[in-house]
Amino acid sequence: MSEQAVAEFLLESRENLARVENDLVAMEGGSAPSAERIAAIFRAVHTIKGTTGFLGFARLEALVHQGEGLLSAVREGRRAASKEVASALLDMVDAVRRFLDEIEATGADAATDAGGAAAALTRLLGAAPLEPGAAEVGAAEAGALELGLLAETDGSVRVDVRLLDQLMDLVGELVLVRNQALRLAGEAGETPFAAPVQRLNLVATELQQRVMKTRMQPIGALWTKLPRLVRDLGRLCGKQVRLELEGGATELDRTIIEAIKDPLTHLVRNAVDHGIEAPAARAAKGKRPEGLLHLRAYHEGGNVNLEVADDGAGIDWRRVADKAVQLGLVTAEQAQRLDEAERSALLFRPGFTTTDQVTTVSGRGVGLDVVRSNLEQIGGTVDVLDRAGGGTVVRVKIPLTLAIIPALIVTSAGARYAVPQANVVEIARVEDRAGLERVLDAPVFRLRGRLLTLLDLDRELAPDEATWRPPTGAAHIVVVRAEERTFGLLVEGVVDGEEIVVKPLPRQVKDVGAFAGATIMGDGKVALILDTLGLAARANLLGRTDAAPQAEPRRRAEDAERLLLLELSGGERAAIRLDSVSRLEELRPELVERSGGGQVVQHRGEVLPLFALEHLLGRAAERGRRGERIPVIVHTGPEGSIGLTVERLLDIVDEAAQLRRKSTRPGVQGTVVVQQRVTELLDLPALVALARAQVGAS
């Protein structure tokens, strides 16, 4: 008996058990199996039994033989395909797995005890245990079985995954050589080598796609264990759960499949234990006693989305907030202001749990934090959403593969970087960096009427912040998305799109938080792959990790509008609808001149009249800060542009500006509540009209 034969037996038996198990779970759930399905289960069990006899594992053979005898009775109509039969056969499957584990570890099946499973099978058969060889399929059926197996395996061959990994590494090196050859051929122009290089490009691309295809597996292969998992969890928690699987043919790289196995198990356990209610509780709410757990996988934008949805009670956000206060994660005041994104972030904190009792399923505070950390290691994200009509949806976004990815090559401070194309939304160009608008000392760009926060890559990666000076001249803006937040990367230039081979980074570089890997370019030099999520976190664009409400990203409600928050004298707050603002400026005080009794500034080729916002509101401005730049809100209309100087710009937020009290004062619409604070909502066009009236009066 060779080691290779045993290894193949173990692999084949485990695959057969996975198929048998799912069919038995469906049978136990009340689904009447067809004659073809019973026959398929019988053939799989018979195959396992035959191989165990050939390899000499007598104790395992005896157990499987009893299961085969019970299946034979069901197939011949001598016993009904009942839940009790299915449960006994599932116990047999568990015992067979224990035998297989022992054989893998020791090479023998002498120590495993299958007494409980064997006794249940004997009781259901109503006779003494069958001896091996007492129930055999007929010669015709056996011949058909062998022909069927040959037909299924003739077109495929088992390959060690280590060999596939080595092939993928070699293809990666070939892609690097291909890129170098294309670059050299492009620089050389028309030469005899141009045609062979193009042929090399086509062959390398085709080979890359074929080898990557061998590494791709349907996510359904990961779902084979879920029906049994949900069945066992439901029994343990006293719940009835129906599992629906959608998109099982969606393919992922094998390494990604392995990486999401544990996170997916955690999510399913949470859904059954925390999400779906017990039958009595569901009946009291007018629901069906049986809860629904729906898993869906689909491709979107170069990623795979995986959703785990249940129709349970949903998340008790008040309880989440109270628990967060109890654990010291937020203060009681902060807990009252938590929005959806901030509350969701709490669920992923290490040690956080709302379960008071520790059970075999949950309650120790280990789970969702592991899910997030494991997914972030492969470039994935996870989000928790309330489901319309009740229940919860956990949405996971993961890349298709980690080996070779399309990327956009950009330059910054003379160095080249790669941005994964899956994160890129679009590209824009600005003629002069110095002309960019700024809010709270951060550059912003008006993209189709909306202000886009910019992250200056030169500054973010500068080795010495103290001596860094902003470059001037033209630049490109790469609009990227990270965790549902869109922002712009301000870069020196955009080189080209290219397929890159991802190389791992040493821990010292990975800990920087700005890079996801490295690649070798066509000229043989190394380029770092940017981690857009890490860059956003470093620049505090996604908020702090301590779930502080003033720093976390905020989801925009359907009735929300974008508001510019500013501070008036005395610390009072005001807001202006951003769609009425043409641009924001920060002017040096020495540029302000006086003309015609008022203040003006020469800016962008025009003379811009300036008016103090607080004077227009009939208040005294308290500007006494010398040497500081003056924030200016610019409004442009048919009659030209006017600038309103303000004390201080605070933030740009998305909130519903619902008037709590109307105002009769010129330029003031009324009072609203923004970020839990009373705020005056100003009417910018009306204020501009007041300013023009003052000019006309003078």
- Statement: residue 401 has pLDDT above 60: yes
If you average pLDDT over every residue of the chain, what do you get?
78
CATH number of 3-153: 1.20.120.160
Find out whether 425 and 486 touch, Cβ atoms under 8 Å. yes
User: Rounded to the nearest 10 degrees, what angle do helices 368-377 and 254-270 cross at?
Assistant: 160
Residue 621 pLDDT: 63
369-397 residue pLDDT tens: 778 777 877 777 788 887 756 788 888 88
Rounded distance, CA 18 to CA 23, Å?
Answer: 9
Angle at 13 between CA 12 and CA 16, to 5 degrees: 90
Q: Which CATH architecture group holds 405-535?
A: Beta Barrel (2.40)
Beta partners for 633? 584, 644
The more confident residue out of 601 and 555 is: 601
Would you list the domain boundaries of the chain?
3-153, 172-216, 220-399, 405-535, 561-697
- Statement: residue 365 has pLDDT above 50: no
CATH number of 220-399: 3.30.565.10
Lowest-pLDDT choice from 238-242, 361-365, 410-414, 429-433: 361-365
Rounded distance, CA 481 to CA 542, Å?
Answer: 11
- Statement: residue 24 has pLDDT above 90: no
Q: Is the pTM of this model over 0.95?
A: no
Residue 523 pLDDT: 73
Residue 302 pLDDT: 58
Reduced to 3 states (helix: H, G, I; strand: E, B; else coil), residue 62 is helix
560-569 residue pLDDT tens: 677 888 888 7
Task: List Cβ neighbours of 257 (8 Å cut-off, separation of 6 or more).
Answer: 217, 219, 221, 222
Find out whether 241 and 291 touch, Cβ atoms under 8 Å. yes
Show the tokens assigned to 258. Answer: 């392995």
Beta partners for 411? 416, 493
Q: Do the domains 561-697 and 405-535 match in fold?
A: yes
Rounded distance, CA 398 to CA 347, Å?
Answer: 20
Residue 618 pLDDT: 84
Task: List Cβ neighbours of 272 (8 Å cut-off, separation of 6 or more).
Answer: 230, 233, 234, 237, 239, 241, 293, 310, 361
445 falls in which pLDDT band (50, 70, 90)? Answer: confident
- Statement: residue 550 has pLDDT above 70: no
Would you give the distance in Å from CA 331 to the centre of its chain? 28
Q: Which of 299, 468, 470 is nearest to 399 (CA)?
A: 299
Q: How many CA atoms lie within 13 A of 622 on its CB side?
A: 7
Residue 548 pLDDT: 30
Rounded distance, CA 368 to CA 264, Å?
Answer: 10
Residue 153 pLDDT: 45
- Statement: residue 63 has pLDDT above 50: yes
Per-residue 3-state assignment (H helix, E strand, C coil) for 437-482: EEECCEEEEEECCEEEEEEEHHHHCCCCCCCCCCCCCCEEEEEEEE
pLDDT average, residue stretch 81-103: 88
H/E run at residue 353: none
358 falls in which pLDDT band (50, 70, 90)? Answer: very low
Which backbone phi and psi does 676 adopt, to 5 degrees? 65, 20
Lowest-pLDDT choice from 2-16, 168-182, 229-243, 333-347: 333-347
pLDDT average, residue stretch 596-613: 79
The more confident residue out of 246 and 370 is: 246
Angle at 96 between CA 93 and CA 99, to 5 degrees: 160
433-442 residue pLDDT tens: 777 777 766 7
Rounded distance, CA 604 to CA 587, Å?
Answer: 12
Residue 292 pLDDT: 92
Parallel/antiparallel/unpaired status of strands 515-520 and 493-501 = unpaired
293 falls in which pLDDT band (50, 70, 90)? Answer: very high
Residue 367 pLDDT: 59
Q: Which of 478, 296, 463 is nearest to 387 (CA)?
A: 296
Rounded distance, CA 358 to CA 284, Å?
Answer: 26
Residue 103 pLDDT: 87
Which backbone phi and psi does 171 adopt, to 5 degrees? -65, -40
H/E run at residue 127: none
| CA distance to 13, 92, 96, 604, per residue, from 103 (Å) | 12, 16, 10, 80
The more confident residue out of 190 and 448 is: 190
Residue 294 pLDDT: 93
Lowest-pLDDT choice from 3-17, 73-87, 261-275, 541-555: 541-555
Rounded distance, CA 433 to CA 171, Å?
Answer: 41
Show the tokens assigned to 302. Answer: 């170069």
554 falls in which pLDDT band (50, 70, 90)? Answer: very low
656 falls in which pLDDT band (50, 70, 90)? Answer: confident
CATH number of 561-697: 2.40.50.180
End-to-end CA distance of the chain, in Å? Answer: 106
The 668-674 sheet, strands edge to edge: 648-655, 561-567, 573-577, 677-682, 668-674, 661-662
Q: Which of 614, 623, 562, 622 is nearest to 587 (CA)?
A: 623
Find out whether 425 and 348 touch, Cβ atoms under 8 Å. no
